[in-house]
Amino acid sequence: MKIKSIELHNYRLYKGINKVVFPNGNSKNLYLISGENGFGKTTFLHSLLWCLYGRLMADIDESFRKEISNGGYNSSVINNLNHICRQQLNTEVTQSTLAKIKKQGYSVDTEFVKEWSHYSVSLEFADVLIPSIPCQSLKITRSYDILLDEEKVDILIDGVPNELTAEIGYEIFINDFVLNKDIARFFFFDSEKIVSLAETNTIEEKRKLCSAYNEVLGVKKYEDLKKNLENMRLRFRRKSDDVDSRNKLNSLLSKQKSLNETIAEQEQQTANFDSQLILLRKEGENLQMQLLREGNGTTLEELNRQEAVLETTRKKDTDYKQQLKQFLEYAPFAISGKLLQQTKVQLERDFNILQSQSDVRNQNSLLLNIKTEMQQAFEDITVSQSNKKLLIDSFDKIISKYHNQATGEASLLSVSKEDFNEFLALYSNITTTYRIEFEHLADDYRKNKQIMERTARSISNMQSKENDNVIKFIRKQKNESEQKIAELEQKIRQLHEERGAINKELAVVNRQVSELGKKVSIDDSDSKKDKVAEQLISELNTFLVSLKKEKKSALERRIKTTMNNLMHKTDFIGKVDVVVADDIIDINLYTAGGNIIKKESLSKGEQQLYATSLLKALVEESGIQFPVFIDSPLQKFDKSHANKIITEFYPTVSKQVILFPLLHKELTESELETMKPFVHSAYLLKNDNSYSYIQQVDINNLMKV
């Protein structure tokens, strides 16, 4: 499928009919639509999404989601009308005529007003394949009239309406036969914004990526088929004659439906809160800029941080003073160094004397005890008195030989062993580490005091500026904004917790439905159908396991190959692991050595290459033939990466690639020269002060116009 033409009529910047025709006829697949900032590149891309999806584009485009959160869809589509047309409507048509048209519609006399009240966007496709309907072209036109408040979609197949589109509905037809909205962001994307794919961290983001993954790779249609078969089997059981089991099943199914509706409501609430958060954070940034302009660039976080620093330094100051006090208690010993040395010598001498005297006393006491006990032992020996006396005298001589007299030296100081050891420890500390530790402590105390005083002055200055009435008012607004952000974040966390509990309850109900469904008897008329459905579900389960495994391996291989081809670093990616669990997907990158690569650690350029590789892998693996539209191409890429994107990504990602570059910034002359062999045609967005229009230009003159 290729775009044959795009037509914008009175859409935002584009007044009147602005048509771009994309001719076929050669193998070149690139089309350039360029213009200065503010000339309508993003508006052009925005118009295509609105044409295809209307209010559903809020699920695809973040900027449109913000618009809707501000004033609703109706307010957004009213604002899409070109402002010159709006002015002419207000100045050229009377209020009574406008009121009449709003009430009764247009008449022959007022038909001319449509040119100012009506806008539209048309997309015409060639090489379209619609099952069972042979066709050469498909044209989708979405229009809106601000007076009638009427949005209309027209779909023409080979120039005429078709019953199929009316029968199944326009939205379903576009979703099923043109491009599903869940995968549209892989074909309409902003190169600068797609780095968000590399930062997919929240459960909600992973769930959205998984949904797109299943849709792109064709898994969802088989899962939907399986779900339909399961629902059909449940319908058979709801008609059962087994009243009790049927009632229980109906009760469980009602509860299941209620829980699913609650989850859907909570997901919508979460999406709304996320949109509000984006706006509040933007408002906070604007208020911070106002504070900067008013001379107070301090944020509340900075003020709180400074106060926390002051509190910490004050605690340290108290601790340092206490430690210094302890050190100062030993200062007299350190000051009287020579006297301390003499004291140590005297204490060692006295301690040795006392120790020696104590040893002598202990030894003599021991000998006396031995002598007494031996004399008693000799008395008990049966020998003659002369021999006994001789034995005792001999033993006394031996004992006398080891009996010592105490030294005559006197000690000056009486010191215990504990006191002596404590003094030696003090002496060792003072003569070795005391000075170094004291100097370090004093230095730390001095530095901490300087930080404490500087922080106190800084806080004082901040608080003095806060007394200014203008700054007070802005600060109040910013504090209120930050409080709202905190409240919203708390609500989002609470919703996530509630949804987790509901999901658990839903899992229990699903299991009960499944178990009860096996027990409920089925009418004979439905029994054969049920068996066929059961067999198909079993075969689908087997097929889905095989399909998911095959798609997972193919996607891993494509991402790895594409990233290594586009990056400077040879074989930088050693392995890609796609992990799909329930409705959540994670994509992990590994080095050749098996170490995981944190995607947030990649440079912005590398993150964009990763996101680009993921997009290319998904598009190629899906087999979906649809043009790719890229806003702000080559952002964040260095010269080497840009050349690889131009020569290897753009020519192969789709049969038709439409780029929206900002010349000389997002596309340089040298890059254009590299791109020329792949470019089919080029268009320039021009602006006549009040409106923009589109003009085809020769590719060789694109940079000169």
Percent of the chain with pLDDT over 90: 12
Query: Per-domain residue ranges for the chain?
Result: 318-454
Q: Residue 85 — very low, low, confident or very high, per pLDDT cuts 50/70/90? A: very high
Q: Are 636 and 193 in contact (CB under 8 A)?
A: no
For range 7-36, the mean pLDDT: 89
Q: Pairing relation of β-strands 628-631 and 188-190?
A: parallel
Q: Is the dihedral of CA 589, 594, 596, 602 positive or negative?
A: negative
Centroid of chain to Cα 17? 42
Q: Are 24 and 126 in contact (CB under 8 A)?
A: yes
What is the C-alpha separation between 543 and 173, in angstroms, rounded?
27
**682: β partners:** 32, 697
For range 389-413, the mean pLDDT: 69
Q: Are 617 and 555 in contact (CB under 8 A)?
A: yes
Q: Residue 368 — very low, low, confident or very high, per pLDDT cuts 50/70/90? A: confident
What is the C-alpha separation between 525 and 236, in angstroms, rounded?
9
Say if pTM beats, i.e. exceeds, 0.95.
no
State the pLDDT at residue 369: 80
> Which helix or strand (DSSP H or E) is residue 126 part of?
strand 118-126
Residue 272: burial class (beta carbons within 10 Å; 0-12, 13-18, 19+): middle
DSSP 3-state of 637: coil
Residue 357 reports pLDDT greater than 60: yes
DSSP 3-state of 138: strand
Helix extents (H) in 159-242 = 163-168, 170-173, 203-216, 219-238
For range 352-356, the mean pLDDT: 70
Q: Residue 254 — very low, low, confident or very high, per pLDDT cuts 50/70/90? A: confident
For range 253-263, the mean pLDDT: 86
Summarised one tens digit per residue, pLDDT across range 629-678 is 988 777 667 777 788 888 888 888 888 999 998 888 888 888 889 999 99
Residues 6+ apart with CB under 8 A from 475: 291, 296, 300, 466
What secondary structure, in 3-state letters, does 537-602 show? HHHHHHHHHHHHHHHHHHHHHHHHHHHHHHCCCCCCCCEEEEEEECCEEEEEEECCCCCEECHHHC
Summarised one tens digit per residue, pLDDT across range 277-302 is 777 877 777 776 666 565 555 555 67
What is the C-alpha separation between 47 and 54, in angstroms, rounded?
10
Centroid of chain to Cα 379? 100
